[in-house]
Chains A and B, each alone.
Chain A
């Protein structure tokens, strides 16, 4: 069974810092890997999706990389802002017998203070 781990569990930084969130997974046979943002009462918002054949994806100040061979993904946030404060989840997709089953990490709770 796929297991996803995220480090650190929590991170507190001043505004303007560049930061890296880490995600590791045990089974490299993934279909894709997604990074989500979770805000209280608002569910999950998909930030970036990296297909298994890709190495990275970028959206604005966010950049996510994927290294299947080592079972790792990183989410890079440039010039962090207080509005980035949220819990960030990574999820590995296994299309096996269930289309779209996602295996989630526990998340990194990010606080960006002014």
Chain B
């Protein structure tokens, strides 16, 4: 299994500001993922972060709005830039443990409210 922590757990931010969310894993992993869950909606993949390379963004998400860093095999950050109320969501990071289980493990999430 994998233990994942996220900081902050929640935040309330003003329109136009930026917030950086941290994700820490207790073991080295190749792939880390960032998801967004808007109120009443399903989880949507924002981007995939592979250590040592640029993050790969899904359709509808751009690097200028959601810059991602992946400095090593246990850590990643997601920044939500120039926030608007539409960015109010839960942001979750996850890791993929391929092999015997292929299970994907998720962090506890960061609940963001933009006023």
| A residues at B contact (CB < 8 Å) | 4, 31-32, 34, 36, 41-46, 49, 51, 89, 91, 93, 98-102, 104-107
Contacts and interface: CB of A to CB of B under 8 A. Distances in A.
A32 B48 CA distance: 19
Contact of A101 (B4, B48, B103): B48
Given A100-B31, A100-B98, 20 more contacts: A34-B103, A43-B106, A43-B107, A43-B109, A44-B92, A44-B106, A45-B106, A46-B104, A49-B103, A89-B42, A89-B43, A93-B104, A99-B31, A99-B48, A100-B104, A101-B45, A101-B48, A102-B45, A102-B104, A105-B42
- Per DSSP, are chain A's interface residues mostly helix, strand or loop, or mixed? strand
Contacts, number: 62
B33 interface: yes
Interface size bracket, B side: 20 to 34
